[in-house]
Structure 1
Amino acid sequence: MMNLSFSLPDVDSAWRGTWKVAQQKNPSELTEIDLRYKYFSANVEMIVDGVEVISSRSFVTLVDLALSLLDAERCISSGEDTAVGFTERAEVIHLRHSEGNIVVTSSEQSWRVVVDREELRSSISEFLREVHSCLTSEVPGLSSHPTIRQMQQI
């Protein structure tokens, strides 16, 4: 069983400022680099069979992680092994094919979990839809931004 979800920072959190600043900008002028690394910090949680693969206790840049997961899903779909890294830390989550499943390991943790390939793909797809929906609700002009539109291509 797998859960992949995110939550926005509390309204009075300094991390919420990464959303407020973006809301004050013209969405068409936001560069992909800024979207990936400057705006939209969020708590993301990924749990596979009770193992916390990504902890909701720390903040990540949501667009960067979403686009990394999009790339990972494409690799998984084509039968390739892949990895997901983080802007905020050195850890890398490895995703390797094994008998119709995906073995998930960390470069910094000792756990090893296995998730059904289709369940992982489905979880990533749903996560991307939710991220896209949240971003375009918070900043409506982002719906036509090419970087954000990529999340709909899954």
Structure 2
Amino acid sequence: MIEFSFTLPEPESPWHTTWDRVQQVNTADISEMDLRYKHFGVRAQLTINDVEVISNRGFITLVDLALSVSWVGKCLAAGEDSAFNFTEGAEVIRLHVEGDRIAMSSSVKPWATSVAREQLLEAFAELRNEAHACLTARVPGIADHPVIRRFAPDQAGS
């Protein structure tokens, strides 16, 4: 079983400003680095077979998450191993293709799990699509940004 979701910060959270600041600039002028690491903080959670792969106790940025999931999904769909991490932490999540399953492990935590490749790819695609929908609904004009278009629903691969 896979549970993959994200929630926006509460209005009183300092992370809420990562959403507010974007309303004050031309979205076309925001760099990829700023989109990935400065804006759109969320609490994300990925649980696979009762293993907490990504904890919702901290914040990560939604664009970085969506781009990471998109890239990893493309690698896995092509039968290639992959990995991802987030700037805020030292942990690397490793994904190893084993036939029609994906074995997952952490570089720093003592967990390991595996899941059907198609099931994981579907969860990644759903998360990517939800992230895109959330961003484009809340930030006028962001859908036209080339970085955001990289994980638009019409993009194939994950």
Counterpart Cα distance in 1 of 2:140 and 2:3: 27
Matches within 5 A, 1:86-97: 86-97=86-97
- After the TM superposition, which residues 135-146 of structure 1 pair with which residues of structure 2 at under 5 Å, given as runs? 135-146=135-146
Q: Please, what is the CA RMSD of the aligned residues? A: 0.8
Residue number in structure 2 paired with 1:111: 111
Superimposed CA distance per residue, residues 82-116 of structure 1 (whole angstroms, 9 cap, x where no aligned partner): 00111111100000011310001000111110111
Aligned residue pairs, count: 154
Is 1:84–1:94's contact at 8 Å kept on the other side of the alignment?
yes
User: Any idea what the Cα deviations from partners look like across 1:91-146, whole Å, max 9, x if unmatched?
Assistant: 00000011310001000111110111000000000000000000111102101111
Alignment TM-score, normalising by the size of structure 2: 0.95
2: distance between equivalents of 1:131 and 1:88?
A: 19
Looking at structure 2, the residues matched to 145 and 99 of structure 1 have their Cα atoms a distance apart, in angstroms, of 36
> In the alignment, which residue of structure 2 is the partner of 1:101?
101
Overall identity of the aligned pairs, in %: 45
1:15 maps onto 2:15 in alignment: yes
The normalised TM-score by structure 1 is 0.98
Which residue is equivalent to 2:33?
33
Mapping for residues 40-55 of structure 1, pairs under 5 Å: 40-55=40-55
The runs of at least 4 aligned residues of structure 1 exceeding 6 Å deviation read: none
Q: State the SS of the aligned residue for 1:20.
A: helix
Matches of 1:140 and 1:2, distance apart in 2: 31
Kept in 2: contact 1:23–1:138 (CA 8 A): no
Q: How far apart in 1 are the matches of 2:11 and 2:104?
A: 33
SS at match of 2:87: coil
Matched AA of 2:64: D
Structure 1 segments unaligned to the other structure (5+ residues): none
Q: Which consecutive residues of structure 2, in runs of 5 or more, have no partner in the other structure?
A: none
